[in-house]
């Protein structure tokens, strides 16, 4: 045997591939108490390495280059060991190995670019080391890692068995040194401290690691921006069992914070920072090595976290993909989890509490699990502000208010099923634009909410207190509130080029919805219409609405009752049934309105018809029935004391479907008490292209005009109708007279009786009496005047004396003509050339008017409604003398 000691200075091991970069070396090596027995037994009492260094490199194929340098290669000419000849057993014993100020460089070429880690100030002490081991070796190690962290190891182990029992303490380790091995783009930082007890076999890994781990000032950074930060992470009771089982008794995360930033294209910066980066493909050899480890491929990780607490969490949300852009913060969130396991052995308990942006708080308590994923949580909302959700609503309206509520949420995620049971209340709800609120409610509450997805939504009761709405129509015809509540068009998402056609989808059942009771109390609404001239404004107050049985199945009928006040004092009501939402219409409702002041609707009367109401009150009872596609409606209208007058010349021609002047039409409709009763039936098929509700009402109104005005009027006069079925004018038949007399012609007595009856039934109608004379009336007047003049000349006044006077006058006027023999013929020939005396004509006209007026008054017509024309009567060449009538107001 050989004994002694040895030493070396600047001892290196070179690599022929890199002669200038020796992978192994030591500044000074000292070995004492050396004992060597041939062929394979070596004992070293003390081995000291001062300033050693080593470079361990793994190439792109995953092969350690240092292994080839320390593996003995057979030299040419060396004898080949005989088959079956045993190799001598190596027996190495080192009393103590000490490494001072060592350095270790690790280079990993499987990464691109290659990762390089330099470990400095390595101090190592190994006592009682042996191969094969004769007992546990005492191990003590300390080293400084890149970034300033330190690691110390103390314990023992059997090196030949690769079994260790050591205490590991790490302080101030730099997390960033692991960056090359992380599969994402974002950069990490932080400092790690750990105290661990490591026991077990290193290869194959059958270790157990227990202890505590802490991380300080952890962050995920992308570029210059921090996306995730954590002030402190502490894990106690850590218990890792190789190869893939870990449990943690207590995990505490202090002040976690995240920046949720989404750009205009909808890309999340956090997702981009955590997106997997392409990794270099290992060479074939490495692939074979990987494939040769079926145990690793079959790993089944197990995770147990008995308690985890996330305190004082925060989030900054910056979302530019919505309009307006979302900007808000959350601070003070808290999450507590107990008994989390994966694979799942039991559901984990969770408690969450967080303030909400701009006010309010959300709390939840329940259980959850993963694989299969499910959640059962009871959530509580307290005064949660609605305004932060504004950018994510599909409408342009600005929403304000706060929500209180409780809900039990149960969800299964594969396949997705969701159950939500609870209730919620919204306080001080406001909906409007940037300048004003158009809809508000003091409080809105939903009780008995029961959501099942897929399936349906059932709500027991919804109550809305003190709703207020301003409903406007602008001069352009636009409704601002409707525009604000109309869902905005969303830009279509781009279709990936490689996207495949998923094929036809199975038809899905429509979501069933039912609402037990909707109750609206003490509501108020104001309607303003700027399409009229002047603007129209009206208010609806004391609105109370109840709907029961709202739903969207074919059998649902919502029983509806509405009570309100229109204007200052007109009661408005609606009752009946409304059919299924989103299904063929089924409506059976009755509307009533009482005592509405007509002048309040003057803006519409003037704009549409060119008339205004001076006074009058309107009542309405409208019954509308819709079954499927058929509309059947009646509109019973009553008006008391209505007086109308024509407006100034309107800016555009009014659309009046009757044709008659409105005042005339109203007068014809009034009964003896000044009351108007109308019934307008409307029928039609809603799907018909020719059907329009407005046109249907106008058509019904024209039909009513013919029924209530035309038929009675036909007994006393005539109607003149236009091509579009409007009554252009009315004409009362005149009273005709015997020529030159005040005696009515045959049949006129009956006509006067019918006219008197009509006037008694229509007390608002006034008539102007216009006498018309004809030549047939004037001729007797002229003969009578001639007779009176000739009679005055005749001294004795007899017929013969009268005839003599007439002959003298005839001879003077017509000397060449033969005078008639009879006196009457003689007088007629003379009178033909005379002019009728104006006084006689006027007297005849007045007596005829008086005769007509007296006859009507005798039949109960007020004389004040009958006025005579003051102008001199006209004398027509043909026709019959008569008294004409003109309807006046």
In this predicted model, what pLDDT tens digit does every residue of 623-675 receive, in sequence order?
Answer: 999 887 788 889 899 999 999 888 876 555 566 666 778 888 888 888 878 89
Give the helix/strand (H/E) hosting 823: helix 823-831
Residue written as token pair 């006084």:
839
- Given a contact cutoff of 8 angstroms between Cβ atoms, the answer to whether 270 and 258 are in contact is yes
Which of the residue ranges 85-99, 554-568, 829-843 has the most confident prediction, judged by mean pLDDT?
A: 554-568
Lowest pLDDT segment from 380-384, 505-509, 629-633, 702-706: 505-509
User: Could you give the CA distance from residue 640 to residue 815 in angstroms, rounded to a whole number?
Assistant: 74
Q: Residue 649 has what pLDDT?
A: 62
User: Could you give the CA distance from residue 883 to residue 773 in angstroms, rounded to a whole number?
Assistant: 9
User: Could you give the CA distance from residue 753 to residue 62 in angstroms, rounded to a whole number?
Assistant: 124
Nearest to 442 by CA among 433, 432, 431, 430: 430
User: Could you give the CA distance from residue 279 to residue 272 in angstroms, rounded to a whole number?
Assistant: 16
Sequence ranges of the domains in the chain: 1-67+90-161, 179-189+206-277+300-355, 516-714, 733-888
pLDDT above 70 (res 293): no
pLDDT above 50 (res 316): yes
Query: In this structure, what token pair is assigned to residue 258?
Result: 């995240």
Beta strands in 567-708 (DSSP E): 570-578, 585-597, 611-628, 630-646, 675-685
Measured on CA atoms in the order 693, 697, 698, 703, is the torsion positive or negative?
positive
Give the helix/strand (H/E) hosting 98: strand 91-108
pLDDT above 70 (res 47): yes
Strand-pair category, 326-342 with 302-319: antiparallel
pLDDT above 70 (res 284): no
CA angle 633, 634, 639 (to 5 degrees): 145
Lowest pLDDT segment from 6-20, 281-295, 396-410: 281-295
Question: How much is the mean pLDDT over the chain?
Answer: 85
Lowest pLDDT segment from 435-449, 469-483, 869-883: 869-883
Tell me if the domain spanning 733-888 has CATH number 3.20.20.105: no
Work out the pLDDT band at 296, boundaries 50, 70, 90.
very low
Nearest to 866 by CA among 740, 758, 780: 758
Q: pLDDT > 70: what percent of the chain?
A: 89
Work out the pLDDT band at 851, boundaries 50, 70, 90.
very high
Tell me the per-residue pLDDT of 680-726, one tens digit each, with 9 for 90 and over. 888 887 777 766 666 777 777 777 777 777 777 888 988 777 776 77
What is the distance between the terminal CA atoms of the chain, rounded to a whole angstrom? Answer: 149
Lowest pLDDT segment from 24-33, 432-441, 787-796: 787-796
Q: Residue 655 has what pLDDT?
A: 63
- For 230, 271, 333, the CA distances from 310, given in Å and listed in that order, are 10, 22, 8
Work out the pLDDT band at 889, boundaries 50, 70, 90.
low
User: Which whole number is the average pLDDT over 22-31?
Assistant: 93
Residue written as token pair 């205009």:
264
Q: Residue 496 has what pLDDT?
A: 46
Beta strands in 740-811 (DSSP E): 766-774
pLDDT above 50 (res 499): no
Residue written as token pair 């932060």:
388
Residue 856 has phi, psi (to 5 degrees) of -70, -40
Work out the pLDDT band at 744, boundaries 50, 70, 90.
very high
User: Could you give the CA distance from residue 806 to residue 786 in angstroms, rounded to a whole number?
Assistant: 9
10 Å Cβ neighbour count for 786? 20
Work out the pLDDT band at 72, boundaries 50, 70, 90.
low
Q: Residue 620 has what pLDDT?
A: 94
User: Could you give the CA distance from residue 428 to residue 829 in angstroms, rounded to a whole number?
Assistant: 100
Lowest pLDDT segment from 261-265, 413-417, 449-453, 459-463: 413-417
- Given a contact cutoff of 8 angstroms between Cβ atoms, the answer to whether 155 and 164 are in contact is yes
pLDDT above 80 (res 473): yes
* Alpha helices for 430-490 (secondary structure H): 480-485
Give the helix/strand (H/E) hosting 803: helix 799-813
Measured on CA atoms in the order 30, 32, 34, 40, is the torsion positive or negative?
negative
User: Could you give the CA distance from residue 217 to residue 182 in angstroms, rounded to a whole number?
Assistant: 18
Higher pLDDT, residue 207 or 593: 593
Lowest pLDDT segment from 506-520, 540-554, 580-594, 649-663: 649-663
Work out the pLDDT band at 38, boundaries 50, 70, 90.
confident
- Given a contact cutoff of 8 angstroms between Cβ atoms, the answer to whether 668 and 674 are in contact is no
Q: Helix 838-858 to helix 748-761 angle, to the nearest 10 degrees?
A: 60
User: Which whole number is the average pLDDT over 145-160?
Assistant: 90
Higher pLDDT, residue 163 or 538: 538
Q: Residue 167 has what pLDDT?
A: 97
Q: pLDDT > 90: what percent of the chain?
A: 47
Would you call 232 exposed, middle or buried from its count of C-beta atoms within 10 A (0-12, 13-18, 19+)? middle
Strand-pair category, 766-774 with 874-876: parallel
- Given a contact cutoff of 8 angstroms between Cβ atoms, the answer to whether 196 and 238 are in contact is yes
Measured on CA atoms in the order 440, 443, 448, 453, is the torsion positive or negative?
positive
Output the pTM of the full model: 0.72
Which of the residue ranges 322-326, 520-524, 554-558 has the most confident prediction, judged by mean pLDDT?
A: 520-524
Q: How far is CA 80 from the centre of its chain?
A: 86
Nearest to 884 by CA among 855, 860, 849, 859: 849
């Amino acid at each position: 045997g050989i004994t002694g000691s040895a030493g070396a200075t600047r001892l290196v091991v070179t690599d022929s591939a890199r002669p200038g970069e020796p992978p192994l070396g030591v500044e000074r090596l000292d070995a004492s108490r050396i004992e060597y027995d041939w062929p394979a037994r070596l004992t070293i009492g003390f081995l000291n390495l001062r300033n050693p260094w080593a470079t361990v490199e793994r190439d792109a194929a995953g092969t350690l280059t240092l292994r080839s340098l320390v593996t003995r290669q057979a030299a040419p000419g060396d004898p080949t060991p005989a088959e079956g000849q045993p190799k001598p057993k190596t027996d190495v014993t080192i009393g103590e190995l000490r490494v001072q100020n060592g350095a270790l460089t690790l280079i990993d070429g499987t990464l691109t670019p290659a990762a390089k880690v330099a470990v400095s100030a390595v101090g190592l002490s190994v006592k009682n080391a042996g191969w094969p081991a004769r007992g546990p070796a005492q191990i003590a190690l300390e080293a400084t890692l890149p970034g300033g962290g330190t690691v110390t190891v103390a314990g023992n182990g059997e090196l030949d068995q690769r079994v260790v029992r050591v205490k590991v303490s790490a302080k101030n380790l730099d997390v960033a040194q692991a960056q090359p091995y992380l599969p994402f783009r974002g950069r990490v930082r932080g400092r790690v401290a750990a105290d661990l007890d490591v026991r077990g076999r290193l290869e194959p890994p059958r270790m157990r690691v227990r202890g505590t781990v802490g991380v300080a000032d952890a962050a995920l950074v992308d570029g210059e921006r921090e996306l995730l930060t954590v002030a402190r992470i502490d894990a106690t009771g850590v218990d890792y069992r190789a190869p893939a089982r870990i449990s943690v008794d207590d995990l505490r995360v202090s002040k976690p914070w995240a920046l949720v930033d989404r750009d205009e294209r909808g890309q999340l910066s956090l997702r981009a920072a955590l997106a997997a980066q392409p990794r270099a493909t290992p060479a074939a050899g490495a692939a074979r090595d990987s494939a040769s480890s079926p145990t690793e491929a079959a790993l089944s990780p197990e995770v147990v976290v008995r308690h985890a607490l996330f305190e004082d969490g925060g989030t900054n949300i910056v979302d530019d993909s919505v309009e307006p852009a979302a900007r808000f913060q959350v601070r003070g969130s808290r999450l507590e989890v107990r008994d989390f396991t994966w694979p799942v052995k039991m559901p984990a308990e969770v408690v969450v509490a967080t303030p909400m942006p701009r006010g309010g708080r959300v709390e939840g308590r329940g259980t959850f699990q993963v694989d299969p994923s499910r959640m059962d949580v009871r959530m509580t909302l307290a005064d949660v502000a609605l305004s932060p959700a504004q950018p994510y609503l599909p409408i342009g309206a600005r929403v304000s208010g706060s929500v209180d509520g409780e809900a039990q949420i149960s969800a299964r995620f594969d396949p997705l099923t969701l159950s939500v049971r609870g209730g919620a209340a919204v306080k001080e709800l406001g909906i409007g634009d940037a300048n004003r609120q158009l809809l508000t409610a003091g409080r809105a509450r939903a009780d008995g909410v029961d959501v099942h997805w897929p399936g349906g939504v059932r709500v027991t009761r919804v109550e809305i207190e003190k709703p207020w709405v301003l409903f406007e129509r602008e001069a352009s015809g636009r409704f601002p509130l409707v525009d604000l509540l109309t869902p905005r068009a969303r830009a279509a998402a781009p279709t990936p080029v490689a996207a495949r056609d998923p094929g036809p989808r199975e038809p899905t059942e429509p979501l069933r919805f039912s609402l037990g009771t909707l109750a609206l109390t003490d509501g108020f609404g104001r309607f303003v219409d700027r399409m009229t001239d002047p603007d129209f404004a009206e208010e609806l107050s004391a609105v109370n609405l109840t709907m029961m049985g709202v739903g969207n199945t074919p059998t649902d009928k919502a029983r509806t009752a509405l009570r309100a006040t229109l204007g200052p004092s007109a009661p408005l009501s609606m009752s009946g049934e409304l059919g299924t939402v989103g299904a063929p219409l089924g409506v059976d409702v009755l509307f009533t309105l009482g005592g509405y002041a007509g002048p309040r609707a003057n803006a519409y009367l003037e704009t549409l018809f060119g008339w205004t109401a001076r006074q009058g009150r309107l009542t309405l009872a409208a019954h509308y029935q819709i079954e499927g596609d058929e509309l059947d409606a009646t509109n019973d209208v009553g008006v008391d004391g209505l007086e109308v007058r024509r407006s100034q010349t309107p800016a555009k021609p009014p659309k009046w479907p009757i044709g008659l002047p409105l005042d005339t039409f109203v007068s014809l409709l009034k009964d003896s008490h000044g009351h108007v009763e109308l019934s307008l039936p409307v029928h039609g098929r809603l799907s018909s292209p020719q059907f329009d509700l407005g046109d249907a009402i106008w058509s019904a109104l024209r039909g009513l005009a013919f029924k209530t005005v035309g038929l009675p009027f036909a007994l006393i006069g005539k109607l003149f109708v236009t091509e579009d079925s409007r009554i252009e004018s009315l004409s009362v038949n005149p009273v005709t007279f015997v020529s030159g007399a005040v005696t009515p012609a045959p049949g006129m007595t009956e006509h006067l009786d019918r006219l008197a009856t009509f006037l008694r039934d229509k007390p608002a109608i006034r008539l102007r009496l216009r006498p018309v004379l004809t030549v047939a009336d004037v001729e007797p007047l002229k003969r009578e005047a001639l007779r009176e003049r000739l009679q005055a000349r005749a001294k004795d006044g007899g017929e013969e004396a009268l005839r003599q006077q007439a002959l003298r006058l005839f001879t003077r006027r017509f000397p060449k003509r033969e005078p008639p023999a009879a006196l009457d013929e003689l007088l007629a020939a003379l009178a033909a050339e005379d002019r009728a005396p104006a006084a006689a004509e006027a007297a005849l006209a007045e007596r005829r008017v008086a005769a007509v007026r007296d006859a009507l008054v005798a039949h109960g017509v007020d004389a004040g409604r009958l006025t005579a024309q003051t102008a001199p009567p006209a004398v027509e060449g043909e026709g019959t003398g008569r008294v004409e009538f003109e309807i006046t107001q």
